[in-house]
Amino acid sequence: MELLWFALFAVLLAGYFALEGFDLGVGLLLPVLGRTVERRDRMVAAIAPFVLANEVWLVAVAGTLFGVYPMLEGEVLFGLYPLVVAMLLAWVVRDAGLWFRRRVGGPGWRRFWDALIALGSLWLSAGWGMALYGAATGFTSSPMHPVGLLLGVVVTLLFAFHGWTFLGWRDPALTGAARSGRVLALTGAVAALPALGLLAGAMGYLLDHSAPPATLNVLSLMVLPFAPLMVAAQVWVWRTFRPGKGADRIPSFF
């Protein structure tokens, strides 16, 4: 049972990196590839239908952390207190940018929120690299350690590359290079590598600190029946918004 929940936890965290990775990547690329409002609209429209379905993977990671690893939840979040607060604020600002950018017509308004999307994406991507480093050292070393900062740069670059591939898959005119779904899956896997590395290293520790069997049984009984519905809903998102079905159609809500 501990193994099953570890696998689920790993899938959720790696899935977050592979999926939200391209949303953050496209956010990072906004100032680079989106010099005009029209291009930025198209870039945001490309990720828009996926963002809500992607970012929620991290919400699920945190919930699993609380339910399955209650003894570690506080340790992890408190161990990285200033970083977690900063990353939360970055996430909030990025989301607010997406929800607000088209609510008022003026170009200045949209430029402002687009800048916040890019800034929030950058902050959050770099934060992930530092957080992974902090967690890998058991919170004994500051995430601002040069290696932590370097990992922040690496994760940011991986997400940006993944975002670029995503645009090439969904709206190739934006990058000038079409990418297949297979390549997108591959860059997703690469974007998830840092998270998978940490999970592999922490596997034994996590298994030892799982909640007692009674709690895990209840969680399994409550969660597993919904798993097919959750998978189906995610698959439905990808089927509905795959390229060729009006992916180049704007406006979108975001």
Partner 1 sequence: MDVLDLARTQFAVTGSLHFLFVLLTLGLAPLVAIMHTRWARTGLPLHERMTRFWGQIYLINYALGIVTGLVMEFQFGLAWSGLSHYAGDVFGAPLAMETLVAFFLESTFLGLWIFGWGRLPKWAHVACIWMVTATAYGSAFFILTANAFLQNPAGAVLSGGRLELTDFGALLTNDALVYAFPHVLGAGLFTGGMVLVGASAYQLRRRTAEVEFFTRSMKTGVITAAIGITVTVMFGYAQFAVGIQPGKFSGNAAAAVPLGFMVEGGHLFSLIVLFFMLPCIRLLPRWRWAHPLLIALTPLPFVLAVLGWLAREIGRQPWMIWERLTVADALTPGLTSGMVTASLAGFTAVLGLLAVVDYVLIARIIRRGPGDDLSLGAAGERRAPALTY
Q: Considering only residues 187-246, where is the footprint of partner 1 by CB under 8 A?
A: 211-212, 214-215, 218-219, 222-223, 226, 229-230, 233-234, 236-237, 240-241, 245-246
Q: Which of 1, 49, 135, 193 binds partner 1 (CB under 8 A)?
A: 49
**Which helix (DSSP H) or strand (DSSP E) does residue 76 occupy?**
helix 70-79
Q: For the CB of residue 205, give the shortest distance to partner 1 in the complex, in Å.
A: 17
205 versus 226: smaller Cβ distance to partner 1: 226
**Of residues 116-175, which lie at the interface with partner 1 (CB under 8 A)?**
173-175
Report the C-alpha gap between 218 and 4 in whole angstroms.
Answer: 13
CB 124, CB 93: distance < 8 Å? no
Q: Which of 3, 4, 7, 81 binds partner 1 (CB under 8 A)?
A: 81
CB 115, CB 93: distance < 8 Å? no
Q: Which of 15, 25, 27, 67 binds partner 1 (CB under 8 A)?
A: 67
Question: Measuring CA to CA, how many Å separate 34 from each of 27, 39, 84, 110, 248?
Answer: 10, 5, 29, 12, 15
Interaction mask 7-46, partner 1, x per CB under 8 A: -------------------------------xx--x----
- Nearest alpha-carbon partner for 86 in 124, 117, 133: 124
Q: Which of 29, 68, 130, 155 binds partner 1 (CB under 8 A)?
A: 68
Residues with Cβ within 8 Å of 136's Cβ and at least 6 positions away in sequence, in order, are 198, 201, 202
CB 195, CB 151: distance < 8 Å? no
Q: Which of 53, 136, 157, 190 binds partner 1 (CB under 8 A)?
A: 53
